[in-house]
Chain A
């Protein structure tokens, strides 16, 4: 920086050689910077500077150099205009007289062309880099529905979105964050539908981030959420363009970022944790039932094992006699207290899950076989743990995986440890206490000004249906009140199909 403080030194010189002398120390040890000297017709000396692998070299060769070669050296057009014409044929071109600007442009994957005799540099946008092809997102698969997912390239992602929303109201605001990474972040929303207060808040929170490098969208998430100590995610993430489109049409704001296929969606509510994209592509009755199933399973994932511990050790009179006899029979050889067993099995289960997630697929299945069969079966047979506790822990574990949003499920899985502790110490009273504590926390949470439990707490009457059940599209006439802005109507009423129409 200090080197550029002298104003005259920052200007681009007429001589390519002089410019190169300036560039050489700047790009020292940057092995991916290419400085190509091109001599055109022996009369024109050019220096093309670009990052290897990020610029379309074929365009440089076939378009810029070719057209420069073909134009006559003597003509009415000035050299600058001829170069500009050639560059514009290849891509969006601007000129600059500042050296630092030129250097930044090179690092931003642009082609910078210095021409002998001109004290200007031509910055051509002709990015081309290897990108992952568009695939079905692994984290959110559907049986029916669009199969494309976001990739790591921001512009690919925005192009997918634009293809789905061909409206000039669909805005994509650009914000650059990260001193080193200079990551491009895009806020997507629909003007007129988005809640302007939410949008202002999002814009402000994203812009104020000061960080060296943004590697994943979760970096942004951690900077913009309302309650960083909460176990609950307050920002929804998705790999699916259709989910983003659905969210922005509800008035939410999506945050896309270069380098991560995950888009962030704010504000998030508790109930969106149960909603999978698939819900909206299947018949609504089935989808509603599945939503309830997920809700029950989510509560099971946190309360099942604690309930078993509390009921068998504190309140066995609350279980049916035959059930208690079965439990008692299974419990007979166990050496540890039930709550210790439960902790042990939960610990083992989490260990197995972690091992299965991190290991390569081939080894992962071996781990699950060893874990499930050898550990579970053998431990019960050996009388180290009783069978019901294995069943409860496994059921609870499976239940936590039934949540469509992975980050939502893991927040609940973590909570079962304190709940289990309370159940072991206070019995049902402890569970009631834990339940209340969780509930109080949930109703206190906010995501960008929207209460987390909306529309159930506070009750928002027209929107509550969509949290309780999946309302058919023709019945979902209004946008959610707390997230959407002025434009409330989504689907004009009276479109319920029937034979008369």
Chain B
């Protein structure tokens, strides 16, 4: 077409534009989902806590950010940056709905970073509580979950953070600092583990720690500290805890830890050394013989000697060997001890032995799966650990070496 001189053509063309425009305009009113909501009409839930009341109802506590207190200066009183509201209901949604009646803004849980469960609640079992967090599309699966050690979950929402804008962001950050990366504390990891018939989920265990020696201007100092992990059985009832050190060994054993510092006391001497270990690797080798499970766990890592109070010349190989041996023994013993404790006390496979066995015996697995709890409890575990110390720093003897 050279020139648009054909009047018919021009008319149809204009008519088409008009039709399209009016259709689009009309259609925009049809769906009726103008879900536009301004930020200052939303109440941002940063954390939630779920507890069971004595009469068996669900108590939902939401922690809301106060945006105006989080402004550019941001240096307001840490206690005044958030507030919490609690309500009870038969379901989480019901509690939330009652809560909404006291909240002038739309409750928005798209940015919920933490969900805390009180220890008593966790021991009663979480199975009936979790549905809302997975079914509701607004709730994010990458939120963090934690069990509050010995206290109701709502207590954890009332601890202000001194440096972070909001306490739950602090909890999130400290988790990745002490954990060396992202060792599964996200809700989604818990769900993946609980989805499995054989493996048992765990959840971070936090504790509200108050140290009288701390100095914080104006307010009593309390922090949410990571103290280990809560161990659940397959019915999602909390059966026990492992402490922080055990947690570290467990993550190493599962190959989810990248670096960590270990301190070890040298045998026969009153000396201690600290070794920073990275390139941590682990291998789980299960063997089924008869109706018995033998598991060999091989753990490797590269170490660098960071601190030593012994007057030894680490430029020579023997002292390094001494340290390596002591460290290997400590790691192996600790892991061995941890596994046997979990075997005997909790009977829960939280070490991914099931996954390793499944991979090793894909055809045998369906029959093993049914009796896995017994197989795991009776399994014979061998742990071999080796840390190869590669660097000892620039000095052989300590610089302040005192000749004895």
Q: List chain A residues, Cβ under 8 A from B28.
A: 425-426
Decide: B70 and A321 in contact? CB cutoff 8 A.
no
A322-B165, A331-B67 known; A313 vs B111 contact (CB < 8 Å): no
Q: List chain A residues, Cβ under 8 A from B46.
A: 321
**With an 8 A cutoff between CB atoms, is B72 at the interface?**
yes
A118 to chain B, nearest CB (A): 48
* Proximity string of chain B (11-47) to chain A, C-beta cutoff 8 Å, 1 when within and 0 when not: 0000000000000000010000011111110101010
B326 to chain A, nearest CB (A): 43
A317-B111, A334-B40 known; A425 vs B34 contact (CB < 8 Å): yes
Q: In the assembly, what is the distance between CA of A424 and CA of B35, in Å?
A: 11
Decide: B111 and A332 in contact? CB cutoff 8 A.
no
Decide: B38 and A313 in contact? CB cutoff 8 A.
yes
**With an 8 A cutoff between CB atoms, is A337 at the interface?**
yes
Residue from B38, B111, B138 within 8 A of A337 (CB atoms): B38
Q: In the assembly, what is the distance between CA of A482 and CA of B265, in Å?
A: 77
Q: In the assembly, what is the distance between CA of A325 and CA of B66, in Å?
A: 9
**With an 8 A cutoff between CB atoms, is B180 at the interface?**
no
**With an 8 A cutoff between CB atoms, is B283 at the interface?**
no
Q: In the assembly, what is the distance between CA of A330 and CA of B40, in Å?
A: 9
Q: In the assembly, what is the distance between CA of A312 and CA of B42, in Å?
A: 11
Q: In the assembly, what is the distance between CA of A325 and CA of B168, in Å?
A: 13
Q: In the assembly, what is the distance between CA of A314 and CA of B166, in Å?
A: 24
Decide: A314 and B35 in contact? CB cutoff 8 A.
yes
**With an 8 A cutoff between CB atoms, is A329 at the interface?**
yes
Decide: B38 and A338 in contact? CB cutoff 8 A.
yes
Q: List chain B residues, Cβ under 8 A from A314.
A: 35-37
**With an 8 A cutoff between CB atoms, is A241 at the interface?**
no
Q: Is the interface of B mostly helix, strand, loop or mixed?
A: loop
Q: State how many residues of chain A have any CB contact under 8 Å with chain B.
A: 25
B176 to chain A, nearest CB (A): 14
Q: List chain A residues, Cβ under 8 A from B140.
A: 317
Q: In the assembly, what is the distance between CA of A425 and CA of B28, in Å?
A: 8
Residue from B35, B38, B111 within 8 A of A321 (CB atoms): B111
Decide: B70 and A325 in contact? CB cutoff 8 A.
yes
Q: List chain A residues, Cβ under 8 A from B138.
A: 317
B27 to chain A, nearest CB (A): 10
Query: Which A residues fall within an 8 A CB radius of B?
Result: 312-314, 316-317, 321-322, 324-334, 337-339, 424-427
Kindly list 8 other residue pairs between chains A and B, CB separation below 8 angstroms, not including A317-B110, A338-B39: A317-B138, A321-B169, A325-B44, A328-B70, A329-B71, A330-B71, A337-B38, A426-B28
Q: 28 interchain pairs (CB within 8 A)?
A: A312-B39, A313-B37, A313-B38, A313-B39, A314-B35, A314-B36, A316-B111, A317-B110, A317-B138, A317-B140, A321-B46, A324-B44, A324-B111, A325-B165, A325-B166, A326-B70, A327-B39, A328-B40, A328-B65, A328-B67, A331-B40, A331-B67, A332-B40, A332-B67, A332-B68, A337-B36, A424-B36, A425-B28
Query: Which B residues fall within an 8 A CB radius of A?
Result: 28, 34-40, 42, 44, 46, 65, 67-68, 70-72, 108, 110-111, 113, 138, 140, 165-166, 169
